[in-house]
């Protein structure tokens, strides 16, 4: 492989690099195709596994949801706990409540919520590359254009991997780390929520700093557009500058009237709401950030199950179609020295893979559904 120096007529933060390699011979192309054939066979069997198991999963989930709906007991959050409902699946709509507010002492941010997230971004160099291939003198040449821009990025960009690091160095670490703080105890009405239910509270919204009291803040911190900037010149950031934004989810406590109620379906155990295990072996534990009846919650779960089922069916069919094409690619390689025949074989392989994958996918789906139904 050879390379050429960057052209002099390109912009300061852009350069081009040229590389070349000899065109592979017939045996080398055949060897590469053999590897692709093995990958294709693997994808083919993986698609069968996905299609077959997906039908069993979908039917099991449907039976579990039907079982849950037939057993769920509606509760009234205003009348406290009823010991008779212990170990039963219950439905509740209530406001969230946390005992203590969440805070970040470094920025003096305080909010009464279930979760408080600190998102950190650093102004860094980012490399973009665009390549084009062309044939010249029996070789395949690749011209790659590298462009460098400065952007706010939440992840650390390693400039050591740049094609041209000189003049585009990034810091090796973030000055401030991103973090999410979760309230240790969260209640919906009189009930303490399980960890799984708390994880479903993700309606994050940006914390407004419009009326934030900036007194006693670090003098090098500047507030602009709901960000804390670690620079006095946020409109002219330099590489390495940091900005921080806060967001919260699950408004609670004294301010809970500002947020919507949550609807929960879970098992009552004393003053806790826990996961409920169905006879089919699935776990029922739902939380929606709106006021919904038990029927509406199970209806949405049925819809979600249907969408997941069809999504996996399409994914399984696509993998099978791709696997068949890769497995038969060796035929294309054997005739690629004849232009007309090469194109005909390429089209034929695609049509054959499409027809065969459609037929086999339907067959596997039918077998998977029937075998689970007969259990």
Name the token pair of 74: 């509606």
Q: What percent of the chain has pLDDT over 90?
A: 59
User: With contact defined as beta carbons under 8 Å apart, do 319 and 50 qualify?
Assistant: yes
Instruction: Please tell me the total count of domains within the chain.
Output: 2
* Confidence class for position 70, pLDDT limits 50, 70, 90: very high
Of 221, 122, 237, 238, nearest to 172 (Cα)?
122
> Does residue 202 share a domain with residue 349?
no
Give me the half-sphere count of Cα atoms (radius 13 Å) on the Cβ side of residue 51: 26
Please report the DSSP string for 85-148 in residue order.
GTTEEEEEEE-EEESS-EEETTTTEEE-EEEEEEEEEEEEEEEEEEEEEEEETTEEEEEEEEEE
Residue 8 has pLDDT above 80, yes or no: no
- Do 316 and 368 sit in the same domain of this protein? yes
Average pLDDT, the chain: 86
**Host domain of residue 44:** 27-93+293-375
Say if 369 falls within a structural domain.
yes
Can you read off the two tokens belonging to residue 135? 């044939």
Residue 283 lies in a domain: no
- The dihedral over CA atoms of 208, 209, 210, 211, expressed in degrees to the nearest 10, equals 110
Angle (deg, nearest 10), helices 339-373 and 294-327: 140
Same domain, residue pair 68 and 102:
no
Residue 104 structure tokens: 């970040």
* 156 and 226 part of one domain: yes
Question: Is residue 139 assigned to a domain?
Answer: yes
Selected residue with higher pLDDT from 241 and 260: 241
Averaged pLDDT, 351-370: 93
The verdict on residue 83 lying in a domain is yes
Domain annotation covers residue 162: yes
* Lowest mean pLDDT, pick from 101-105, 248-252, 271-275, 331-335: 331-335
**End residue of a domain, out of 239, 260, 281:** 260
Residue 6 in domain = no
205 inside domain: yes
Token digits of residue 331: 């035929």
Could you tell me if 263 and 91 are in contact, meaning their C-beta atoms sit under 8 angstroms apart? yes
Query: Are 255 and 141 members of one domain?
Result: yes
- What is the structure's pLDDT at 5? 39
pLDDT of residue 219: 74
Same structural domain, 183 and 254: yes
pLDDT recorded at residue 36: 75
Distance between CA atoms of residues 329 and 312, nearest Å: 25
Distance, CA of 228 to CA of 200 (rounded, Å): 28
Residues 68 and 125 in one domain: no
Residue 285 lies in a domain: no
Does the structure show a pLDDT above 50 at 83? Answer: yes
């Amino acid at each position: 492989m050879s390379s050429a120096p960057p052209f002099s007529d390109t912009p300061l933060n852009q350069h081009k690099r040229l590389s070349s390699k000899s065109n592979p011979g017939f045996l080398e192309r055949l060897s590469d195709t053999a590897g692709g054939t093995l990958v294709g066979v693997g994808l083919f069997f993986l698609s069968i596994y996905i299609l077959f198991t997906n039908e069993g999963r979908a039917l099991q989930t449907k039976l579990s949801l039907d079982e849950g709906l037939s057993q769920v007991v509606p509760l009234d959050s205003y009348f406290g706990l009823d010991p008779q409902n212990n170990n039963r699946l219950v439905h509740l709509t209530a406001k969230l409540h946390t005992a203590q507010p969440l805070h970040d002492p470094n920025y003096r941010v305080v909010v009464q919520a279930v979760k408080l997230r600190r998102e950190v971004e650093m102004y860094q160099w980012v490399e973009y590359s665009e390549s084009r291939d062309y044939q010249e003198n029996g070789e395949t040449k690749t011209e790659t254009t590298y462009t460098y821009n400065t952007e706010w990025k939440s992840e650390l960009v390693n400039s050591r991997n740049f094609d041209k690091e000189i003049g585009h160095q990034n810091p090796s670490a973030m000055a401030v780390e991103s973090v999410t703080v979760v309230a240790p105890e969260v209640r919906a009405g009189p009930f303490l929520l399980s960890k799984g239910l708390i994880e479903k509270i993700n309606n994050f919204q940006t914390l407004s700093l419009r009326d934030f009291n900036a007194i006693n803040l670090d003098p090098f911190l500047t507030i602009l557009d709901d960000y804390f900037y670690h620079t006095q010149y946020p409109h002219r950031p330099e590489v390495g500058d940091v900005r921080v934004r806060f967001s919260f989810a699950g408004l609670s406590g004294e301010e809970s009237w500002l947020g919507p109620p949550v609807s929960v379906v879970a098992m009552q155990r004393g003053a806790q709401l826990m996961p409920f295990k169905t006879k089919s072996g699935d776990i029922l534990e739902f939380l929606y950030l709106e006021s919904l009846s038990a029927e509406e919650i199970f209806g949405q779960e049925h819809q979600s199950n249907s969408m997941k089922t069809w999504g996996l069916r399409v994914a399984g069919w696509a993998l099978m179609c791709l696997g068949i094409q890769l497995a038969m690619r060796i035929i294309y390689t054997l005739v690629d020295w004849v232009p007309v025949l090469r194109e005909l074989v390429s089209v034929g392989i695609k049509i054959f893979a499409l027809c065969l994958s459609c037929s086999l996918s339907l067959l596997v789906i039918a077998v998977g559904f029937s075998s689970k139904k007969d259990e």
